Amino acid sequence: MLSSELKFYGEMLFGGSWQAQLAEYLRVDRRRVTDWLSRGNVPNFVDNELDDLMKRRLFEIQSAVNIKNGDSDFYEQMSLVCGETHYLPRRIHKEQIKTFLCSLKWSVIKIINSEIKNNQISIDEAIQIAEDEFLSSNDIASAIEAKEIALIDIDIDEVKELRADALVDLKYQIESFFDK
C-alpha cells in the first residue's frame, strides 16, 4: 500500500483526525503512522487490518439501511450485528449464524483492545475473555437450544463447529496483537 492510499482510506474511515484514530485502531504509536506516510511505504499488516475494517463498516452501514428501510426487524438485526443472543430471530439460516459469529468476534476484539490499552492484559487473559464471550455469555449454540430457534439449512452440530472455528480464528488474531 502506498502512503497516498493510506491517507485516502484513513480519511474515509476516520475523518479529519484519522492518523491518531488509525494508530489506536492498529494498536501502534501515532509516530509509526507518520513514519509510514513520510517513507511512502506501509506495512502489509495495515492493508489487511484496513480491509477487515472496511468490510465491517460496510456491513454495519448496510444493516442500518436495511433496518431503516423496513427490510429487517430492528432487534433481530441488532442481535446479529452486535453478536448478542438476546433477540435472535425465531428461524435462523447458516449465513445469519456466520454473520453473528463474525460480529461476536468484532465485539470481542473491541473488548480486548480496550483491555490492552487500559490494563496491559496478558495474552492468556485476552484468550480467556474470548472464550468467556464465545462459550458462555453469547454462546449461540446454547441460545438456539434454549430458545428453541428453528435452524434452516444447518443443524446444531454444524453451529457448534462454526462457533469453534470462529473461536480458533479469533485466538490467532489475539496472538497477532501480541506479536506486534
Instruction: Note if the pTM is more than 0.85.
Output: no
Look up residue 138 and give its three cell numbers.
453469547
Q: What is the pLDDT of residues 50-79, one digit of tens each?
A: 988 898 888 888 888 888 887 777 888 888
For residues 127 and 178, the answer to whether their CB atoms sit within 8 Å is: no
Stretch 21-43: mean pLDDT, rounded? 89
CB under 8 Å to 150, separation ≥6 — which residues? 90, 91, 92
Residue reference for cell 423496513: 70
Query: Residue 89 pLDDT > 70, yes or no?
Result: yes
Looking at residue 158, its pLDDT comes to 94
Stretch 140-168: mean pLDDT, rounded? 91
